[in-house]
Each structure stands twice: as structure tokens, then as C-alpha cells.
Structure 1
């Protein structure tokens, strides 16, 4: 069944005419189609999205069924954002460092006693998942203990007193346990609950309505859903209170999360160096990058710089992606923890709202090389080889017998159905090597080429062979 948005709200602090310049009706319709198709295909009941473009929210919209018996999808409803909350915990500690109350390189044992090797683990390592503390919730389901309430101290007593999985700083391993410790440090230093601190220093200044996810349950809130394999979609039972805490305790609307993304884009609320610190990937002791900063993933994707994080709560999946150089962000919140609707939707929206990335010099040359390879391939099929396109060695290889065999075996197969590169160019022996896969006449062929790198681009090697 094709799901249509039951309710839509465009949230803008700018006049309506500007909206048409920022997000066209065609783009909005395409977004509707992407979301609706993902929900229909995966069975995920609902999604709430927000789109930032040009540093402002240009669309906030909800789709589908947010809870049993609810017939209108409300974009203002707070979904559980789970581990996206980690960047807020990290921001709290950065603010406390700005206040002169701690340093991120302080040992955590100074603030929270009783943790294994607490004198060797730093706050920064907690926030970057390099502390070595064992993760208390690696499962993608609620394990037995989650049916009963828990306190942060009980989590630490059970998991943070175990031997470390590795020496601090030597490896990267996602650890919710580390963020529970981080939350307790915030509370001890700030002298108030973590959420209260965030309300005062982050959420109220940005106009964000954030709710403790343990309290965002029941009437008036989105319901989480589950599915066993390809069985029916069922209402999920929430975990007992306390299990997500500083590792993922927040619920908010997609639009409210987008307000935080805008602060990131504009370098407001936090000092600029705090934003940089959060977005700088931490390096391990052997020099390897983790691609993870302080509560966020920081990397390049498709030629773009991306700051992102996903979230998984009991019955909820979410994705928050910021594109700093494009002044854009995409927020997708869903009320199911099966399938990949949130990722599909986020990728689909990004394809619509972002300008195509500028082609890199390497990408441009790869495309030109593919064109040159296709020209020679077609010449060989037709036995009309332009030998000026080959080096002396390649011309030596293509004897009359070789040319006849190429033409006879390839020409009878008809036109190629696909001619695609397998990866980019790589240097070898003074040439640039590239590989291609060709589908032709019901066969799949492999093409291996070496070409000159000096601008002449003559082929030193052009070998066709069967492929699986």
C-alpha cells in the first residue's frame, strides 16, 4: 500500500516566497515520494523528517502512523533519537571545560571512582569510544535485564568494573558504557542532572523542546514498533527506565534536532573551537584515524564533508546528517527498529536537496579514461584499430592474429549492455592501471588496461578476458 503523508507542516522563520527559492514544489514532491516509498517497502509505520538548506529549516514533515489509533502524523511529535544524544553529552562536557571546571584530558577516576583503570582513561577517550570500556548494549534487541529499571551506577557496577577490552587509546570500539560515565561526570561537575544542564545551556537557548525518552512513552507520544523477520509489524514494549541515560536519553522532533544542526553549521551557541573539537576525528596511539570525533562521526562521503550520527532505541531508528560545506542537513526519525528506512530516506533526500559535488580531478580523469577504453574496445570488435591510441609495446602485442581473434570473438556478441569501471586508477610500472567490467551478448568480460599518465593516454595494455 502506498502511504501518503497524512499531515504536513512547513516550518520556516522566513516568508513564503523565499521557500519557493529554497525548496521547489517539485523537490518537495520528490521528497514525499522517497519517504512514502521507503515506508511502503520496509513496513516501517512512520517517519518524521526535517531538511536544512542554506542554513535554515526549509521542510519539516511527518508521514504514516505514529501510534495505534492515531490518524494524523504530527511533525512536532518527539521521537526517541537514541545515540544521536551522544553529541549533546559531549557538548555538555565541552561547555564545562569552557567554564574551567574540567579538562577533557583529565582521568575519569578523578570524577567517578571504581572504574577499571580509571586513572588511565581520559574524558576525551570516553567521548571518542577509545577508552576500552565494554559496551553494555551491543544487541539490537532488548535483553532480559532491560525489562527492569536501572540506574547509571548499576550499569557501571556491572560493566565498567570488568577488565578493559583494550588499552585506552589503542583501539576504537563503540561503547554506551563510556557515555554513562560521561553523563555522571557532567552531573558531578555541574551539580545538576544532565538533562537539566542541557536544558539550561543548549535546548532553551536554541528553542528546542527535548524530553527524557523514558517519559516520552504512552498517550501523546509516538509508539515504537518491531518485526520478527518478515512477519507482521507489532507494537514494541519500551525498555524499563534508565537504560539509555547519557548514551541516548533524548526525544525531540526532527525540526528541533535540525535547530541544533543549524547551530553547528553557523558555529553558534558553542564556541567555534568546541565545534571543531567535536568534529575532529580522534587518532589512536598508532596514528590511525578513528573517523569519530566527540559524539559524532566525521568523514568524507562522495566528495563531501559529513558530520553524522545514527540512533537506535527500543522501537526507534534515526539518522542525522550535516553537510557543513553545503550549509545543509537531513534529519530522519522513524518509529521502528527494523529495516533501513531511515538510511534510505536520508540518502534519497540528500540526492534531492544537495547540489551535485564538484567532480574531482581524479573522477574527471576516470570518466575520460572510461570513454577512451570504450572507443578502443569498439574498434577491436570491428577490427578497425587506430594504432595511434596504443604505445609501441601494445602495438607489438596486437598482431594480425590477435586482432582477428579479438574481432571474431567480440564482434559476434553484439553491442555491450554495460561498460563500467571497477574502482579508480592506480599507478604501476609508470602507467595508470584501470579495470572494467563489460556485459555483452549474455557474457561478462573483464578488461584490464594500463595507460600513459603524461597526457597522451596511449594504452600500454588492453586485455579482455572472461569474468564471472
Structure 2
């Protein structure tokens, strides 16, 4: 993606947006996004298109807080939700290429001191099964909610708390035979994060900054709520309450998932930084920073592991059907000639989607600061419109 840094005031010139030292090449699409604010009752929405590694379209419209006049920009940070899982899978790929892990590394291999406490079969659960939601371990249930609540009494840093969650989780019986069933599992990704922490010797939170945010120059990327405590300096997350009213959430403990679940999805960043990440994936890791992992590893991360046969509507931010890889999925839609690489994420108050056509090297990213089915449908409609416009030139 072409982003040049300069000192400048805010204005539009020749299709390039100039704001606070940044010049963004491409065409603004605010006019395409504006109608969705009203039709889907979105506080704000941002989107971008990357074609063959070049940012071609971008936009951000709406307000940081519903009912307030605080316009968003393309540099505003939105919450990525479970789209962060692909970053965790990429960290795992780094550990594998460095010889510290293998796709078939087991919990017993990485945590031998816990073998005696592991329920039958848990010892043999592999890294790949955890990253593909096929581990057979208990998923997002009442036990996980209790552990997250109890974790506040566990002393130490987040990696210490993840290790504690791991110790408590491996005692639980498997609910399915590994590799034979698929169940969306934030617990599993948190455990995969603990495996990465053990072999690297560093907290996942430190690794993702050092090994992804900094090399990609994702200057807006961070962890946790996108806004600062006491400030509306980023789009606030919103929910639709039972009475139909929209409630915004200032930064605080209820504005995001527990940070223990970081490996499963607690990243925030701007639409432009998300476009950089998506464009790199669309190019199979062949563009800068090309020394992160090999193109062969990127291809492996994108490779399907399990076919999802969903007969019920999936909650926003989770894959409804198709083939699941490692964080990423492959989704068939009626507006594309073949399955697209897809990733969606939501913490319930924000929503993000990434759509990639690897054959044409096109990436489309869309984000909003509200959760729910209506928002999910709106983001899909935006992706459809942008994709059809992008492929029309081929």
C-alpha cells in the first residue's frame, strides 16, 4: 500500500487525502459508504480496497459516538475482534519456521509438567487443531466465562494468567474427538497463544507488537479498547439494547473482551493499517515486510483444514460455513466466481471484515463501531459493492 509521510494540513488534492503528516494515495469512497449509516443505523463505517498491493480506494464516515458530532477519519482506530486470530496464526508460523514449534506440537510436548493433570486425550491436542478450532476442547461456554471472572484473582502478567487458564482448561474432558468436529473456540486460541509464549519466552502481547505491528509499520495498532480511558479519541463501541436504543461504551472493563483472550482477538487499528495487513496476505506474503514468514508458510496458514457445515445462523464475527483454515476461512458468496479468503471479527460492540481474492490479488476491508446482525449484513453489502467495482476492470 502506498502511504507517504509529510507535514501537511487537511485537504483533498488529486484523489489523495492529506492529514497529519500522511498522504494516502487512492480515491475516497465516502459517497459509497454514507448511505449505510442510515440504512443500517451505523454510528460509523470505514472501508478500503487494495489491488495488487496498492491502496486504490478508502473512506470513513459517521461519528465516533452515536448522537455526537465527532467525525471519524481513515486514521481512527477501530476494533478488529477475532480478525486478530490470523495474526496469532502468523506468530505461530514464525515459531514453526524458527524451529520452536511444529504444526503437530502437542500440549503434552510444550507443557510436560501438566501431563498428569490433563484429561484423557488432551495431552495429544496439537497446535494446528487449536488454530483451526478442531481441538475438541471445551469452547466458549459457562466454564470459560467463570475462568475469565476468576482470573482477576490470579497474580502476574497476562502470560501468567493465560498459563493459569491453560492449567485449569486441560483438566476438562474433551467434548469431541480432535480433528473430527469444528467448534469456534476462543479458549483454544488463548491456549495456542500460551504455547507461543512458552517457546518464545515472551508474552504474546509483546510478540505481536515486535513481530507484526512494528515490521508492518501499523502505527495505529494496539491492544484492548480503541479509545483511551475518559476520552472519545477513537470510535466507541456500540450495542443495540433490547429496547432498540443504541448504547455506546467508553473505554473500560465492559468495552472489550478480557485481555487474557488477546490471542483470540483484542487488537485495534485504523482501516488503512488493516488494509496494509490484508494486502500483504492477498499477495501471499511476497511483499514487504517479506521476511516475516515465507510465502510457503502464508499459503499454509491460508490452507483449509476443516469444512464447516453450518445449519444455523452464525453470530456476527464468526464464519457461517465454508472451509476453515487457521484464523482465516474460505467463504462462497453469490457475488464472487469462486470462494474468497475471509475473516470476520467482533467483540459484540464492534465489527470488522476482511475479504481477499487471492487469484486477482484484491483485498477489501470494512469496519464499524457497532455489533449485531444488521451491521454484519451492512458490511457484507459494502464488501460486495466494492468487490464488484474492483473486478469490473478485469
TM-score bracket relative to the smaller structure = 0.7 to 0.9
Asked if residue 261 in structure 1 is aligned to residue 278 in structure 2, the reply is: yes
Counterpart selection for 1:40 from 35, 38, 41: 38
Asked if residue 211 in structure 1 is aligned to residue 212 in structure 2, the reply is: no
Whole-Å Cα distance in 2 between the matches of residues 118 and 49 of structure 1?
41
Whole-Å Cα distance in 2 between the matches of residues 244 and 155 of structure 1?
10
Deviations 1:118-163 (A, max 9, x none): 322110111111101122269xxx9788778654345445555322
Total equivalences in the alignment: 335
Q: Which moved more, 1:205-214 or 1:77-86?
A: 205-214
Deviations 1:398-443 (A, max 9, x none): xxxxxxxxxxxxxxxxxxxxxxxxxxxxxxxxxxxxxxxxxxxxxx
TM-score (structure 1 length as normaliser): 0.64
**Cα distance, 1:11 vs. partner?**
6.1
CA RMSD of aligned residues (A): 3.3
Q: How does 1:53-92 map to 2 (within 5 A)?
A: 53-67=51-65, 69=68, 71-92=70-91
Q: Counterpart of 1:177?
A: 187
Contact 1:172 1:290 in 2 (8 A): no
Q: Counterpart of 2:347?
A: 313
**Cα distance, 1:291 vs. partner?**
0.8
Which structure is larger by alpha-carbon Rg, 1 or 2? 1
Contact 1:214 1:242 in 2 (8 A): no
Q: Counterpart of 1:278?
A: 301
Q: Counterpart of 1:329?
A: 363
Q: Counterpart of 1:298?
A: 330
Q: Counterpart of 2:140?
A: 136
Q: Counterpart of 1:119?
A: 123
Whole-Å Cα distance in 1 between the matches of residues 38 and 149 of structure 2?
31
Q: How does 1:333-344 map to 2 (within 5 A)?
A: 333-338=367-372, 339-340=374-375, 341-344=378-381
Highest RCO, 1 vs 2 (Cα 8 Å, sep ≥ 6): 2
Structure 1 pair 40–154 and aligned structure 2 pair: CA distance change class (3 A):
farther
Q: Secondary structure at the match of 2:323?
A: coil
Structure 1 pair 234–290 and aligned structure 2 pair: CA distance change class (3 A):
closer
Structure 1 pair 149–40 and aligned structure 2 pair: CA distance change class (3 A):
farther
Whole-Å Cα distance in 1 between the matches of residues 242 and 36 of structure 2?
17
Contact 2:52 2:279 in 1 (8 A): no
Whole-Å Cα distance in 1 between the matches of residues 96 and 268 of structure 2?
26
Q: Secondary structure at the match of 1:234?
A: strand
Q: Unaligned 5+ residue runs, structure 2?
A: 1-9, 153-160, 308-320
Deviations 1:369-408 (A, max 9, x none): xxxxxxxxxxxxxxxxxxxxxxxxxxxxxxxxxxxxxxxx
Asked if residue 221 in structure 1 is aligned to residue 253 in structure 2, the reply is: no
Deviations 1:355-376 (A, max 9, x none): 388xxxxxxxxxxxxxxxxxxx
Structure 1 pair 199–185 and aligned structure 2 pair: CA distance change class (3 A):
same
Q: How does 1:193-212 map to 2 (within 5 A)?
A: 193-209=203-219, 210-212=221-223
Q: Secondary structure at the match of 1:294?
A: coil
Whole-Å Cα distance in 2 between the matches of residues 149 and 198 of structure 1?
22
Q: Counterpart of 1:435?
A: none
Q: Unaligned 5+ residue runs, structure 1?
A: 1-5, 358-468
